């Protein structure tokens, strides 16, 4: 039985981890931290967990409280995991970070985009990027896992087969991506109030979003050359879901059947990536609550632009589910353990 600790158990990704791990047959949740709710029963704050976590209560995020864990998940804001990771690793505890603390390999880039001085630069090189469809073998032996962000997951899985095959121009990739408001976290902010976000739709961070360098880093690794990406995120009036509309220009004439085959072949063994029939239109509700990414391809008017539609649940495949998928790999468990669920509909 894997003894699990969760730092930051009161946010959306934290409670999503609890929801998934509560039913994981090889996991025992032994510590859930919260600075503001110490001593409160976890299922008192989240009644949907009643009957699944016994009398588990929130504790302070200290090394002592986590010292008996085999693995600790950080479902915390950026800048927290880097302060505790080394002490946990020194105790032989595996660390899975859902924040961005260890995703970027260039420290100066990280500090530029996140506005902090990195406290554990020596660990960055040791971190394995938590996108199993690309880094599966490395994750099997990783002690520190930096889970991919939600936007980066949808975008990278969408572009991956084309970049690996080298059949598109990497000078002008476009990612037009929409997210539900849960992607902003469980903090109270005017922009995500229902009366502000409801019945509205807007782009934001057009001049630069902090997920841009993460996505670019991943795409560059895929294609082994410089990549120029225009990434524009949008906020949509829904709770869960990410819809990425991706554009790339084909460098050679490729038939729709050949394009479809590239994707179906690349993801044939990937349980959590579903390639829909050509010219389908994936809907975010069809992956809601699941760890799946659904992808569909289009070549409008038979031209040279390929349009890839990629949808995920930002809290599952874009966060907690992907973290559990990575944990399963690290501990030699079936990759779908605790994740074999059907999406919610409607």
DSSP string, 182-207: GGG-SS--GGGSHHHHTT--EE--TT
pLDDT of residue 34: 94
pLDDT of residue 193: 79
Q: Write down the CATH superfamily of domain 151-314.
A: Dihydrodipicolinate Reductase; domain 2 (3.30.360.10)
In the set 59, 147, 150, 293, the catalytic residue is 150
Structure confidence by residue, pLDDT tens digits, 265-318: 999 999 999 999 999 999 999 999 999 999 999 999 999 999 999 999 999 999
- d(C-alpha 329, C-alpha 335), whole Å: 6
**Cβ atoms within 10 Å of 168's Cβ, excluding its own:** 23
pLDDT of residue 232: 98
pLDDT of residue 197: 82
Mean predicted confidence (pLDDT) in 233-262 = 96
pLDDT of residue 346: 82
pLDDT of residue 319: 98
Cβ atoms 240, 150 nearer than 8 A: no
pLDDT of residue 139: 98
pLDDT of residue 195: 81
Structure confidence by residue, pLDDT tens digits, 98-121: 999 999 999 999 999 999 999 999
Mean predicted confidence (pLDDT) in 255-267 = 98
Q: Write down the CATH superfamily of domain 2-126.
A: NAD(P)-binding Rossmann-like Domain (3.40.50.720)
Task: State yes or no: pLDDT of 194 exceeds 80.
Answer: no
Cβ atoms 331, 279 nearer than 8 A: no
- d(C-alpha 266, C-alpha 105), whole Å: 26
Helix (H, G, I), strand (E, B) or coil at 72: strand
Give domain limits for the chain.
Answer: 2-126, 151-314
DSSP state of 168: B
Q: What is the pTM of this model?
A: 0.96
User: Which residue's structure tokens are 């995703």?
Assistant: 103
pLDDT of residue 70: 98
* Beta pairing partners, 270: none
- d(C-alpha 217, C-alpha 211), whole Å: 10
Tell me whether residue 59 is one of the annotated catalytic residues: no
Structure confidence by residue, pLDDT tens digits, 10-57: 999 999 999 999 999 999 999 999 998 999 999 999 999 999 998 999
Share of the chain above pLDDT 70, in %: 100
């Amino acid at each position: 039985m894997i003894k699990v600790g969760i730092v930051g158990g009161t946010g959306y990704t934290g409670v999503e981890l609890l929801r998934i791990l509560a039913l994981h047959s090889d996991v025992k949740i032994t510590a859930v931290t919260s600075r503001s709710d110490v001593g409160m029963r976890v299922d008192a704050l989240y009644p949907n967990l009643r009957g699944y976590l016994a009398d588990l209560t929130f504790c302070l995020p200290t090394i002592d409280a986590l010292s008996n864990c085999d693995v600790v998940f950080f479902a915390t804001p950026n800048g927290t995991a880097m302060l505790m990771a080394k002490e946990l690793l020194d105790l032989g505890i595996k660390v899975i970070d859902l924040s961005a603390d260890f995703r970027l390999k260039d420290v100066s880039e990280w500090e530029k985009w996140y506005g902090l001085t990195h406290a554990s630069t020596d660990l960055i090189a040791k971190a394995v990027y938590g996108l199993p469809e690309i880094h599966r073998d490395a994750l099997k032996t990783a002690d520190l896992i930096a889970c991919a962000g939600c936007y980066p997951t949808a975008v990278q899985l969408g572009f991956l087969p084309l970049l690996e095959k080298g059949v598109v121009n990497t000078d002008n990739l476009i990612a037009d991506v929409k997210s539900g408001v849960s992607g902003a976290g469980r903090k109270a902010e005017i922009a995500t109030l229902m009366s502000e976000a409801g019945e509205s739709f807007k782009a934001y961070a057009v001049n630069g979003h902090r997920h841009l360098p993460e996505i670019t880093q991943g795409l560059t690794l895929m294609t082994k050359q410089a990549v120029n990406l225009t990434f524009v995120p949008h906020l949509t009036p829904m709770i869960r879901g990410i819809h990425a509309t991706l554009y790339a220009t084909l460098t050679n004439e490729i038939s729709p059947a050949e394009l479809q085959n590239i994707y179906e072949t690349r993801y044939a063994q990937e349980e959590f990536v579903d390639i829909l029939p050509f010219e389908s239109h994936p809907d975010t509700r069809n992956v809601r609550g699941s760890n799946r990414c659904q992808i569909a391809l289009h070549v409008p008017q038979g031209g040279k632009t390929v349009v890839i539609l990629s949808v995920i649940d930002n809290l599952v495949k874009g966060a907690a589910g992907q973290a559990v998928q990575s944990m399963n790999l690290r501990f030699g468990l079936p990759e779908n353990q605790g994740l074999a669920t059907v999406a919610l509909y409607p």
